[in-house]
Structure 1
Amino acid sequence: MATAIQVPRAARKELLVLGESIRVARLRRKLTAEIVAERAGTTRQTVARIEAGNPAVKIGTYAAVLQALGLLKGWGELDDPVGEQISLDELPRRARLKNG
């Protein structure tokens, strides 16, 4: 049996915004949920869950729906103002916890 996914409030809010943006993009293109689902290799019900911002839907399915709408390009780019201040050459190979 699947366990409930614990998603922080801020993340849930962003998923709601993303889902609504996907719904609006689909409607602007005059596409039914069934057509988007077929193109994304999923079901109409899953498209509805995505449009509702459901955190239980796999991220790959979100990406497939974005691809079906022609919106995937640039989706993986993160706004990271803190990270932009750090040179890539200065990054550690991996993160480690400090003991003590």
Structure 2
Amino acid sequence: MVLNIIAFMRAFESNKDSEKSLKNEKLPLPLPVERAIQKLGRDLSLARRRRHISQASLAERIGASLNTVKRMEKGDPRVPLHFVARTLHVFGDIERLSQLLDTSQDQIGLVLMDEQLPKRIRARKTQGGAL
């Protein structure tokens, strides 16, 4: 009985270790994604400086640490999206985030939806002859 419990605990620990190693394995960012995030960081930095807002002041306004603002402006992909959104809100540009992938303007998505439309629509059969 004790040996079974020990074997179970070892198997459980081994399983936890393999889960941790899977979580630690990160997919590399595609180069266009990395470049876009870095450009966003540079643009946020420029927008902040044009508004004469210090990094410390921005950090306080968005509820982040100074280090988080510095990482965001360097294009660190690990900065949570809500800090970017809060920064856009401080700058008065939050509407641009909400329009980022406007589904009514998604040409590829609309074309794919149109391809799924039926070729013809038949009238439904009514029961009992009533229309």
Q: Is the 8 A contact 1:47 1:65 kept in 2?
A: no
1:27 aligns with 2:66: no
1:42 corresponds to: 64
User: Amino acid of the residue matched to residue 72 of structure 2?
Assistant: I
Of 25-34 and 58-67, the range deviating more from structure 2: 58-67
Structure with greater helix share of residues: 2
What's the CA shift for 1:87?
Answer: 4.9
Q: Is the 8 A contact 1:5 1:55 kept in 2?
A: no
Q: What is the alpha-carbon distance in structure 2 between the residues aligned to residue 37 and residue 26 of structure 1?
A: 11
Aligned residues: 90
1:81 aligns with 2:118: no
SS of residue in 1 equivalent to 2:64: coil
User: Amino acid of the residue matched to residue 73 of structure 2?
Assistant: E
Provide the aligned C-alpha RMSD in A.
Answer: 2.5
1:52 corresponds to: 74
Gaps of at least 5 residues in structure 2 are: 1-19, 118-131
Q: What is the alpha-carbon distance in structure 2 between the residues aligned to residue 22 and residue 38 of structure 1?
A: 16
Q: TM-score if structure 1 supplies the norm length? A: 0.74
Larger RCO (CA under 8 A, 6+ residues apart): 1
Structure 1 residue ranges (4+ consecutive) displaced by more than 6 angstroms after TM superposition: none
SS of residue in 2 equivalent to 1:73: helix
Percent of residue pairs bearing the same amino acid type: 28
Of 44-53 and 58-67, the range deviating more from structure 2: 58-67
Q: What is the alpha-carbon distance in structure 1 between the residues aligned to residue 27 and residue 91 of structure 2?
A: 27
Larger Rg: 2
Distance 1:9 1:71, change over 3 A: same
Q: Is the 8 A contact 1:23 1:51 kept in 2?
A: yes
Q: What is the alpha-carbon distance in structure 2 between the residues aligned to residue 73 and residue 57 of structure 1?
A: 20
2:83 corresponds to: 61
